[in-house]
């Protein structure tokens, strides 16, 4: 743990040294009617405006740039600044629709401050229909961008440069008050409405309350160094990772929960009036009363390759003797049964039957009584 803390404290100093303060930089190009930038400074964006921009990042191997769509809603009065990212994993779509809907529906006349939305930040992953960024280097190297922040312009991989241009161009340059990075579970897997949050960061616990999520994983981010949430936290911008269900589908219920959360978040930051819709308030109070906060989770997988039949679903309350899944060989013979690691709640399931040995089939969350787990382990 000390090694991780040393890394992060060193890293925080690094970030402070490299947080830039540049003006919005336009390349002069227009794509599909919208201006292309390399740096966004929301101070330069006109008050009372809704702006669509393209952030120019790295070039592909044929010299064409990857352009990231950026939405900026700026109110007529000064106020806080909220960053909404989505799609840093290219197969995770619910957050993209959430950002699109929120930015479209903001009434600028009552907005105080600025909301910046990125509806799909890994455009390379989306081109390639996959989670990662595909570097056309050697025989294609796949990079999980949400482990690389703040990136490095001197690294040989395009993914590292891409991340650095996002970080410098938008994330680090705008003195955001808070950040929300929207995800889903990865392809073939499904999370409930779920949050990763580091409670050692001021305001983060309040953000989790506002989500009304099914599950909150208390988490220092030690296992996900370079994730947007953690790097924003260490740069002084309280952030959460909001997981909205499953990949490669637009789940209207998850998108609605993400949408309602963002408007509550804006209200809590004094950026927007709170909703007066009684049905909306009641639904939130019900969700919030059921939110489970857990500090430890553990996956269970098969020791054999084979077909997996699930017997549990997300949010089932289980014990370590609950039969969670059965593994069959190709002939249909039972070869293994899978049990939760401990008594707790099922918080992710793998829907794809065919699995290699060791692949996560279920994830179970609980509260460890180990004092070292108080902030997550
Ligand atoms: Zn993700």
User: How far does the centroid of ligand 1 lie from the alpha carbon of residue 49, in Å?
Assistant: 30
Instruction: Give the domain extent around 308.
Output: 296-373
User: How far does the centroid of ligand 1 lie from the alpha carbon of residue 23, in Å?
Assistant: 30
pLDDT score of 7 more than 50 = no
Residues 187 and 332 reside in one and the same domain? no
DSSP-derived pairing of the beta strands 189-197 and 239-246? antiparallel
Residues 237 and 165 reside in one and the same domain? yes
pLDDT of residue 12: 52
User: How far does the centroid of ligand 1 lie from the alpha carbon of residue 276, in Å?
Assistant: 32
pLDDT of residue 21: 65
CATH (domain of 80): 3.40.630.10
Q: Which of 8-17, 114-123, 227-236 has the lowest mean pLDDT?
A: 8-17
Indicate the average pLDDT of the chain.
94
pLDDT score of 343 more than 70 = yes
User: How far does the centroid of ligand 1 lie from the alpha carbon of residue 247, in Å?
Assistant: 9
Encoding tokens for residue 134? 């595909």
Residues 271 and 191 reside in one and the same domain? yes
Rounded Cα distance, 97 and 107, in Å:
18
Domain boundary residue, one of 239, 268, 293: 293
User: How far does the centroid of ligand 1 lie from the alpha carbon of residue 155, in Å?
Assistant: 23
**DSSP string covering 270-291:** TSSPPP--HHHHHHHHHHHHHP
User: How far does the centroid of ligand 1 lie from the alpha carbon of residue 330, in Å?
Assistant: 31
Give the angle 208-211-212 at the CA atoms, nearest 5°.
Answer: 105
User: How far does the centroid of ligand 1 lie from the alpha carbon of residue 132, in Å?
Assistant: 10
User: How far does the centroid of ligand 1 lie from the alpha carbon of residue 245, in Å?
Assistant: 10
User: How far does the centroid of ligand 1 lie from the alpha carbon of residue 295, in Å?
Assistant: 20
Residues 334 and 201 reside in one and the same domain? no
Cβ-count burial of 84 within 10 angstroms (0-12 exposed, 13-18 middle, 19+ buried)?
buried
Residues 10 and 116 reside in one and the same domain? yes
Provide the total of helices (H) and of strands (E) in the chain, helices listed first: 8, 21
User: How far does the centroid of ligand 1 lie from the alpha carbon of residue 75, in Å?
Assistant: 30
Residues 136-164: tens digit of each pLDDT: 988 899 999 999 999 999 999 999 999 99
Tally of domains within the chain? 2
User: How far does the centroid of ligand 1 lie from the alpha carbon of residue 60, in Å?
Assistant: 23
Please state at what angle helix 252-268 crosses helix 94-105, rounded to 10 degrees.
Answer: 50
pLDDT score of 18 more than 80 = no
User: How far does the centroid of ligand 1 lie from the alpha carbon of residue 95, in Å?
Assistant: 10
Residues 260-298: tens digit of each pLDDT: 999 999 999 999 999 999 999 999 999 999 999 999 999
Among candidate residues 256, 260, 247, 251, the one with its CA nearest the CA of residue 87: 247
Residues 62-86: tens digit of each pLDDT: 999 999 999 999 999 999 999 999 9
Contacts of 185 (CB under 8 A, 6+ apart): 92, 191, 243, 245, 246, 247, 348
Q: Which residues pair with 346 in a beta bridge?
A: 364
pLDDT of residue 223: 82
Rounded Cα distance, 223 and 240, in Å:
15
pLDDT of residue 11: 54
Domain boundary residue, one of 293, 317, 351: 293
User: How far does the centroid of ligand 1 lie from the alpha carbon of residue 225, in Å?
Assistant: 14
Rounded Cα distance, 363 and 36, in Å:
42
Residues 236 and 323 reside in one and the same domain? no
User: How far does the centroid of ligand 1 lie from the alpha carbon of residue 30, in Å?
Assistant: 30
- Other CB atoms closer than 10 Å to residue 325's CB: what's the count? 22
Residues 157-214: tens digit of each pLDDT: 999 999 999 999 999 999 999 999 999 999 999 999 999 999 999 999 999 999 999 9
User: How far does the centroid of ligand 1 lie from the alpha carbon of residue 187, in Å?
Assistant: 10
Residues 202 and 216 reside in one and the same domain? yes
Contacts of 277 (CB under 8 A, 6+ apart): none
Rounded Cα distance, 137 and 267, in Å:
46
DSSP-derived pairing of the beta strands 112-119 and 292-294? unpaired
Residues 267 and 301 reside in one and the same domain? no
Distances (CA, A) of 103 to 82, 118, 197, 297: 11, 10, 24, 34
CATH (domain of 342): 2.40.50.100
Contact 250, 94 (CB under 8 A): yes
Contacts of 80 (CB under 8 A, 6+ apart): 112, 113, 177, 178, 269, 270, 271
User: How far does the centroid of ligand 1 lie from the alpha carbon of residue 339, in Å?
Assistant: 25
Q: Which residues pair with 354 in a beta bridge?
A: 307
Residues 347 and 268 reside in one and the same domain? no
Domain boundary residue, one of 293, 325, 350: 293
User: How far does the centroid of ligand 1 lie from the alpha carbon of residue 186, in Å?
Assistant: 6
Residues 93-142: tens digit of each pLDDT: 999 999 999 999 999 999 999 999 999 999 999 999 999 999 998 889 99
Residues 305 and 207 reside in one and the same domain? no
Residues 263 and 310 reside in one and the same domain? no
Contacts of 368 (CB under 8 A, 6+ apart): 295, 296, 377
Residues 22-59: tens digit of each pLDDT: 899 999 999 999 999 999 999 999 999 999 999 999 99
Contact 215, 306 (CB under 8 A): no
User: How far does the centroid of ligand 1 lie from the alpha carbon of residue 181, in Å?
Assistant: 9
pLDDT of residue 3: 39
Residues 304 and 197 reside in one and the same domain? no
pLDDT score of 250 more than 60 = yes
């Amino acid at each position: 743990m000390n090694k991780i803390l040393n890394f992060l404290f060193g890293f925080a100093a690094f970030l402070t040294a490299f947080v830039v303060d540049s003006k919005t930089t336009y390349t002069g190009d227009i794509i599909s009617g919208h201006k292309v930038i390399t740096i966004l400074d929301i101070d330069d964006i006109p008050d009372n405006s809704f702006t669509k921009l393209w952030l120019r990042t790295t070039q592909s191997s044929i010299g064409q740039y990857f352009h990231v769509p950026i939405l900026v809603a700026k109110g007529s009065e000064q106020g806080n600044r909220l960053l909404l990212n989505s799609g840093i994993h290219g197969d995770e779509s619910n957050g993209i629709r959430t950002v699109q809907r929120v930015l479209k529906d903001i009434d600028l006349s009552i907005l105080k401050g600025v909301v910046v939305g990125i509806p799909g930040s890994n455009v390379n992953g989306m081109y390639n229909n996959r989670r990662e960024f595909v570097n056309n280097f050697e025989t294609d190297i796949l990079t999980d961008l949400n482990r690389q922040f703040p990136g490095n312009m001197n690294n040989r991989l395009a993914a590292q440069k891409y991340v650095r241009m996002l970080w410098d161009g938008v994330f680090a340059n705008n003195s955001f008050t808070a950040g929300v990075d929207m995800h889903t579970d990865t392809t073939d897997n499904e999370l409930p409405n779920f949050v990763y949050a580091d409670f050692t960061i001021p305001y983060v616990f309040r953000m989790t309350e506002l989500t009304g999520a099914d599950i909150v994983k208390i988490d220092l981010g030690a296992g996900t160094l370079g994730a947007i949430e953690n790097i924003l936290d260490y740069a002084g911008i309280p952030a959460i990772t909001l997981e909205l269900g499953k990949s490669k589908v637009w789940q209207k219920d998850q998108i609605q929960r993400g949408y309602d959360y963002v408007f509550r978040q804006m209200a809590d930051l004094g950026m927007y009036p709170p909703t007066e819709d009684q049905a909306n308030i009641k639904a939130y109070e019900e969700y919030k009363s059921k939110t489970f906060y857990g500090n430890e989770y553990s996956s269970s997988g098969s020791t054999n390759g084979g077909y997996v039949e699930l017997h549990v679903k997300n949010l089932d309350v289980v014990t370590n003797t609950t039969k969670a899944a059965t593994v069959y060989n190709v002939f249909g013979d039972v070869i293994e049964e899978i049990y939760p690691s401990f008594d707790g709640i099922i918080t992710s399931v793998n829907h794809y039957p065919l699995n290699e040995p060791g692949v996560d089939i279920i994830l179970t969350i609980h509260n460890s009584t180990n004092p070292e787990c108080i902030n997550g382990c």
